[in-house]
Amino acid sequence: MNPTSSSGGAKGSRLPYWGVLCCALFVTASEVCLKKGADSTQNLSNALSWLETQALVSGWIWTGILFYIVSFVFWLRVLQILPLNIAFNLVNIEHIFVPLASYLFLGEVISPMRAAGIGIVLLGVWVIAESYCRVEERA
């Protein structure tokens, strides 16, 4: 059982981090799309052309769902390599991407307290990623 796992680990020693990053980025993209879709539904009543808005809404929603599925595929690839505990915590980096994306694309404001919380999450993700790197080097 050891040869297969170690060869997989050596071959994909860089992959988990790219996988985690892609997974988090696609989740962020899907959240932004879903939010755009949900927002468009709210002012559906006073929209000029109901049908056009409807098509646009479903466009955002479907793109959001598509991105979510892509992120799930990346998540499965990551899970094949990393222990669940490490992977689940590393993917928390999405909690940094989502506020950043909502600031950039949705025009939302990040309060200083929220920024502090995001900073602490980033620190926690770094602590875990860095400790895993060391384990990998030793192995």
Partner 1 sequence: MTEGFLVLVVLSQAFMVGGQIFLKHALNKTEVGSETAAWTRAAPFVYGIGLMTLWFFLWLWLLSKVELSYLYPFDALSPLFMAFGASVALKERMTPRLWCGVLLIVSGLLIVGASQ
For residue 116, give the amino acid letter.
Answer: A
With tokens 């505990």, the residue in question is: 85
Total residues at the site for partner 1 (CB under 8 A)? 33
Residue 84 sits in the site that holds partner 1 (CB under 8 A): yes
User: Considering the complex, what minimum distance in angstroms separates the CB of residue 104 from partner 1?
Assistant: 17
Beta carbon nearer to partner 1, 44 or 55: 44
HSE (CB half, 13 Å, CA atoms) of 67?
19
What phi, psi does 39 have (nearest 5°)? -65, -40
Helices and strands counted in the chain (H then E):
6, 0
Residue 4 sits in the site that holds partner 1 (CB under 8 A): yes
Binding site for partner 1 (CB under 8 A): 1, 4-5, 8, 76, 79-80, 83-86, 88-89, 92, 95, 99, 111, 113-114, 116-128, 131
